[in-house]
Structure 1
Amino acid sequence: MDFTGLIAYPVTPFAADGTVAVGALTGLVDGLAASRVDAITVLGSSGSFAYLDRSERSLVARTAIGAVGGRLPVAVGISSVGTREVLDAAVDAQEAGAAGLVLSPVSYVPLTDDEVLAQVRAVCAATDLPVCLYNNPGTTQFDYSLQVVAELAALPQVVAFKDTAADAATFNARHAELAPLVPGSFSHGVSGDLLMMTGEVAADAWHSGPAALLPDYYARLRAAVLGKDQREIDRVRHVLGPLVDHAAGLRKISGLHLLARACGVAAGDPRPPLLPSPGSELRELGRLLDVLESEFDDR
């Protein structure tokens, strides 16, 4: 797996009793495998990895990989507070048939460069799966320097970097600065849907939670960005942007579960202690979704 293209990060659906809704997850991932996304990653932030135990994470990975049936690469998020748990997740993912791993430097105490280097090296010693590093400083309080990324990119398994930035210009500058420091096949992808909605960030990959619910619209926008089709970029942004912007203004994870409901996906409520987003927001999400669908009813 090379972690390029449009990579969708689905929510983990929950049943009314709080357990993982295996049937809903199967349906969601099966639909994604038939869509225009290039790969799927389960157990990312969107997939509530932090609120699942080891057996549940293994269940999600096995269910998703089985539902896709080899039609698309399926990566598995292995982030956890402790390295022991990260390594357990890596081994479980490989046994489930994952095509790759996604790892962010999660810790109760923010990690140092040396600690991140040690953890990634430990993962690479425990598995031969390709690894995508994930820079999520707003959550982890660790911000990858490009020098650390370049050092880790020397490891054969580290093939990609899921990155973010304050704005499109900053991301594009980081992209240009990183390119000569890493192998030519290394994927530097963008995380942050509002960055994608600018229409100014192509990157090697788009990593997105909402794309798992709106895959064809995201694929349409990415194709326009790659093709430098400004007319189509503006057309898609005009109707997709407000929906993505509104969803981004809701509470993380909870907002995605509400967007899933608006899209007709039975994702249930997020797992406590997270509370559901206000039901009053559902009407506005539905309205914005209707506008989007009416613009592209030929899809």
Structure 2
Amino acid sequence: MDFTGLIAYPITPFTPDGEINYPELGGMVTGLARAGVDAVAVLGSSGSFAYLSTAERTRVARTAIEAAGGAVPVVVGISSVGTREVLDAAVDAAQAGAAGLVLSPVSYVPLTNEEVLAQTQAVSAETGLPICLYNNPGTTQFDYGLDLVAELLDLQNVVAFKDTAPDAETFNARYAKLRSLTSRPVSHGLSGDLLMVSGSIAADAWHTGPGALLPMYYSMLRNAVVAGETEQAKVCRKVLLPLIQHVVDLRKISGLHLLAKVCGINAGDPRRPLLPAPGSEQRELGRLLDVVEATLGT
């Protein structure tokens, strides 16, 4: 597992009483495998990992891996506030048959470089699975410096970096800088859907939650960007950008659940304490999706 290409992060669907809808989750993963994404990542931010119990996270991982049936690799998020819980999650993921792990520096008190280094070393020693580091400073209040990333890449099974940036120029500069700091092969992927649908960054991977709901359209755009097909990328970007901008303007997770409803997925509302996005937004999302479908096909 090298964490390259289009990596889809499905939401965790819930029933009306707030329980996980495992059959719907399995159907979503099966659909993503058929859609031709390069990997599926469960228990990411999009998957509401922070609101699930340990037993639920284990079952989500097993459900997704079974549903994929080996057609597409499934990687599992293992982030948690405590290192003990992170290590337990890494073991559970390996036992479930995960192809890799995604790790972000989650903590009630923002972590230091030394603490992130120590935690990553512990995970690397616990499992031989490939590890993708996730830079999500808006949530974790920890922003990976590239010197630290290069140091962590010295660990044999740290193979990827899921990164974010305020604009394409900054991401591309970080991409080039990391290459200059390490001789190790690394997938430097992009997290940030507005930058993806801008069509200005290929990166080694796109890590996306909305792309798990719109895999065909994200694949079309990514393939055009990677191949340098500027006209096709322009067509995709023109219709996708307004839709994704509208989703991003809604609350994280809540906006994805509303988009799922518009896409005909029985995802339910997010788990409390998160409240659903206003139902009044559903009509506008539906209109924007209609434009995408009319332009790019269904």
Q: Distance in 1 between matches of 2:254 and 2:210?
A: 12
Q: Distance in 2 between matches of 1:152 and 1:174?
A: 16
1:189 aligns with 2:173: no
Q: Distance in 1 between matches of 2:155 and 2:72?
A: 25
Q: Partner of 1:264 in structure 2?
A: 264
* SS in structure 2 of the partner of residue 274 of structure 1: coil
- Give the CA RMSD over aligned residues: 0.8
How many residues in Structure 1 have an aligned counterpart in Structure 2? 298
Q: Distance in 1 between matches of 2:33 and 2:180?
A: 34
AA aligned to 1:263 is C
AA aligned to 1:284 is E
Q: Partner of 1:27 in structure 2?
A: 27
AA aligned to 1:121 is Q
TM-score, normalisation: structure 1: 0.98
* CA displacement, residues 199-244 of structure 1 (integer Å, 9 cap, x when unaligned): 1111000000000000010011011111111111110001111101
* CA displacement, residues 153-196 of structure 1 (integer Å, 9 cap, x when unaligned): 01011000000001010000000111122345210000000111
* SS in structure 1 of the partner of residue 35 of structure 2: coil
AA aligned to 1:38 is D
* SS in structure 2 of the partner of residue 34 of structure 1: helix
1:164 aligns with 2:160: no
Q: Partner of 2:242 in structure 1?
A: 242
Equivalent runs, 1:31-46 vs 2, <5 Å: 31-46=31-46
Give structure 1 stretches of 5+ with no counterpart: none
| Contact residue 42 and residue 74 of structure 1 kept, 8 A | yes
Q: Distance in 1 between matches of 2:293 and 2:223?
A: 18
* CA displacement, residues 69-98 of structure 1 (integer Å, 9 cap, x when unaligned): 100110000000111111111011001000
Q: Partner of 2:111 in structure 1?
A: 111
* CA displacement, residues 15-57 of structure 1 (integer Å, 9 cap, x when unaligned): 1111110110011000000012100000000000000010000
AA aligned to 2:114 is D
Q: Distance in 1 between matches of 2:164 and 2:22?
A: 31
Q: Partner of 1:61 in structure 2?
A: 61
What's the % identity of the aligned pairs?
67
| Contact residue 132 and residue 160 of structure 1 kept, 8 A | yes
| Contact residue 153 and residue 184 of structure 2 kept, 8 A | no
* SS in structure 2 of the partner of residue 207 of structure 1: strand
Give structure 2 stretches of 5+ with no counterpart: none
Q: Distance in 2 between matches of 1:234 and 1:225?
A: 9
| Contact residue 14 and residue 270 of structure 1 kept, 8 A | yes
Q: Distance in 1 between matches of 2:286 and 2:75?
A: 30
Q: Distance in 2 between matches of 1:21 and 1:124?
A: 32
Q: Distance in 2 between matches of 1:16 and 1:31?
A: 23
Q: Partner of 2:91 in structure 1?
A: 91
AA aligned to 1:226 is V
Q: Distance in 1 between matches of 2:165 and 2:217?
A: 23
| Contact residue 9 and residue 212 of structure 1 kept, 8 A | yes
Classify 1:27/1:6 alpha carbon distance in 2 versus 1 (closer, same or farther; 3 Å): same
AA aligned to 2:100 is G
Q: Partner of 2:7 in structure 1?
A: 7
* CA displacement, residues 91-111 of structure 1 (integer Å, 9 cap, x when unaligned): 110010000000000000000
